[in-house]
């Protein structure tokens, strides 16, 4: 197995564990057991648990970004692309392993004490808001609508995680339709 394959295997194993149990509840021994890599191999790839957590957040960012963009790419019109974000959320919320936003979870655990984790979470959230805002601007609508629509998605994630009710994605989607229609009407 080459170095990149080993690194990827460790990151995927840590991601599964951190997402299911939280970063604070998972030691490096658990990552070793889950990944099948020795502690020596893990520490050769990641100098500390913090480095591994940051790699997991990058992995999760990439998964999220690719998933949202793949869902949006299936649609032609800008408003359909925007609404696809909520469709992506609905399918994610329905997954058996859904435990909320990994970034919000990491921030809740470590954001107050770990500046690098807080920065990674903020960068991810800004990236998502920028993506939604870019879709809104492609449609010719005001950038503020992008912020509003991103906030709806963020709220749906938190609500679904806490309540266990996957319908929050559909409720957010319906609210997004209302905001988009209001924006269209205001620009006429």
**pLDDT tens across 56-79, in order?**
999 999 999 999 999 999 998 888
Same domain, 75 and 167: yes
Which pLDDT score, from 0 to 100, does residue 187 have? 67
Same domain, 27 and 112: no
Same domain, 113 and 138: yes
Same domain, 144 and 83: yes
Same domain, 82 and 60: yes
Pull the structure tokens for residue 117: 């984790």
Is pLDDT at 185 greater than 90 in this prediction?
Answer: no
Which pLDDT score, from 0 to 100, does residue 12 have? 98
Nearest Cα to 122, choosing from 52, 61, 56?
61
Give tens-digit pLDDT for 36-52: 999 999 999 999 999 99
Same domain, 112 and 182: yes
Mean pLDDT on 84-103: 96
Radius of gyration of the chain (CA): 18
Same domain, 32 and 119: no
Which residue's structure tokens are 């696809």?
Answer: 84
Same domain, 62 and 117: yes
The answer to whether the CB of 89 falls within 8 A of the CB of 169 is yes
Give tens-digit pLDDT for 103-162: 999 999 999 999 999 999 999 999 999 999 999 999 888 999 999 999 999 999 999 999
Three-state secondary structure string covering 128-167: HHHHHHHHHHHCCCCHHHHHHHHHHHHHHHHHHHHHCCCC
Which pLDDT score, from 0 to 100, does residue 186 have? 76
Q: How confident is the model at residue 188 (pLDDT cuts 50, 70, 90)?
A: low
Nearest Cα to 168, choosing from 98, 76, 79?
98
Query: How many Å apart are CA 97 and CA 32, to the nearest integer?
Result: 21
Using a CB cutoff of 8 Å and minimum separation of 24, what contacts does 63-66 make?
A: 64/124, 64/128, 65/127, 65/128, 65/131
Q: Which domain holds residue 151?
A: 49-186
Same domain, 43 and 53: no
CATH number reported for the structural domain that contains residue 75 in this entry:
1.10.357.10
Pull the structure tokens for residue 16: 């599964």
Same domain, 64 and 31: no
Number of domains within the chain: 2
Collect all residues with Cβ–Cβ distance below 8 Å to 129 and sequence separation of at least 6.
146, 147, 150
Collect all residues with Cβ–Cβ distance below 8 Å to 106 and sequence separation of at least 6.
18, 23, 53, 57, 117, 120, 121
């Amino acid at each position: 197995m080459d170095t990149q394959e080993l690194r990827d295997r460790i990151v995927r194993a840590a991601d599964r564990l951190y997402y299911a149990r939280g970063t604070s509840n998972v030691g490096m021994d658990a990552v070793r057991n889950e990944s099948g890599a020795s502690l020596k191999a893990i520490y050769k790839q990641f100098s500390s648990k913090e480095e591994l957590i940051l790699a997991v957040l990058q992995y999760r960012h990439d998964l999220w970004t690719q998933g949202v963009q793949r869902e949006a790419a299936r649609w032609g019109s800008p408003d359909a692309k925007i609404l696809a974000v909520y469709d992506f959320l609905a399918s994610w919320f329905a997954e058996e392993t859904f435990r909320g936003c990994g970034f919000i979870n990491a921030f809740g655990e470590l954001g107050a004490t770990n500046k690098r984790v807080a920065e990674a979470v903020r960068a991810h959230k800004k990236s998502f808001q920028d993506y939604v805002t870019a879709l809104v601007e492609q449609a010719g609508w005001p950038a503020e609508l992008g912020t509003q629509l991103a906030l709806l998605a963020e709220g749906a994630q938190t609500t679904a995680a806490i309540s266990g009710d996957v319908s929050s994605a559909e409720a957010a989607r319906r609210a997004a339709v209302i905001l988009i229609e209001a924006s269209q009407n205001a620009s006429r």
